[in-house]
Amino acid sequence: MIVEEKSTCPYCWESVYFEIDTSVSEQEYVEDCHVCCNPILLRINIFGNSVNIDTTKEDDGF
C-alpha cells in the first residue's frame, strides 16, 4: 500500500509529502525535496499502522 506522509525538509524546513510503500518495514533512500529540489535522505520505519520518517541531508550521517 502507498501512503502519503508529511515530513520536514532539512534544507528549507517546508512540510513535504512523501509517498511511502508500507509493504517494506525498513527503508532508506534519497528523494529530492519537492520545494527546494535538494536531495533528502529518508529513513523510514513502519510499525503496524504508524509510519516514522527521519529526514536528514544526504551528506550528513555518512
Nearer to Zn ion, 11 or 22 (CB): 11
> To the nearest whole angstrom, how small is the minimum distance from the Cβ of residue 22 to Zn ion?
24
| Least distance (Å) between residue 29 CB and Zn ion | 16
Of 4 and 26, nearer to Zn ion (C-beta) is: 4
58 Rama class: left (phi>0) / alpha (psi -120 to 50) / beta: alpha
Placement of cell 512540510 in the chain:
15
Query: Closer CB to Zn ion, residue 3 or residue 12?
Result: 12
